[in-house]
Amino acid sequence: MKKLVTLAFTLAASPAFAATEYGFFSLHNTNFIVLLAFLLVLGIMVYFGVPGMLSGLLDRRAEEIRREITEARALREEAQQLLASFDRKRQEMAAQAERIVADARTEAERAATLAKEEAARAVQRRIAGVEEQIAAAQAKAIREVKDQAVTVAIAAAQEVLARQMTPAAGSQLIDQSIATVSERLH
């Protein structure tokens, strides 16, 4: 308290002494009145412990800020751990995606190879089927040509025999045939 009074008198000993004709320490001097009011307000504040309350409020606020900073650091560390975890998971997923793509490519290549092989077998089967059809058509054509040739040969032989065959030659041929049959039967 003594410090405040000393401070007040030190502030009072300024050029304000000459401010009025009554002197500084007069109730007619507004500067003195303001100084007294200020000192009175300071005294009341000290009496009711306002500086202690203010320092307590400031201490509580400082403690809150420290706690919030601690929480923020903890949250930051947790966020960094989560970020690292997500980064690892992203890398794992990227590696898994690469494996899936590689497996899909391998499977697609295998399927393409199998499809090519199956297509080649199908072409070979078709070629074999067509060759069989051609062979069957050839055999049929050959049979038909042979049948036609036999028919033509029979017709030609009938015609030749009909021209060469006279009733006497026919009787002689019949006699020879009977003789041959009877030799073979006996």
**pLDDT tens readout for residues 9-37:** 555 555 544 444 667 788 888 999 999 99
Q: Would you give the distance in Å from CA 26 to the centre of its chain? A: 90
Pseudo-torsion of CA 74, 80, 86, 92, nearest 10°? -130
Q: What is the pLDDT of residues 80-133, one digit of tens each?
A: 999 999 999 999 999 999 999 999 999 999 999 999 999 999 999 999 999 999
Contact 57, 64 (CB under 8 A): no
Measure the CA–CA gap between 101 and 184, rounded to whole angstroms.
90
> In terms of pLDDT, which residue wins out, 170 or 56?
56
Amino acid of residue 16 = A
Measure the CA–CA gap between 74 and 115, rounded to whole angstroms.
60
Q: Would you give the distance in Å from CA 14 to the centre of its chain? A: 83
Say what the pLDDT of residue 173 is: 76
Measure the CA–CA gap between 38 and 46, rounded to whole angstroms.
12
pTM of the model: 0.39
DSSP H helices, the chain, are 2-12, 30-47, 50-164, 167-185
Measure the CA–CA gap between 135 and 141, rounded to whole angstroms.
10
Measure the CA–CA gap between 63 and 70, rounded to whole angstroms.
10
Instruction: Supply the mean pLDDT for the chain.
Output: 85
Measure the CA–CA gap between 52 and 95, rounded to whole angstroms.
63
Contact 19, 29 (CB under 8 A): yes
Place of tokens 């109730």: 27
Measure the CA–CA gap between 139 and 133, rounded to whole angstroms.
10
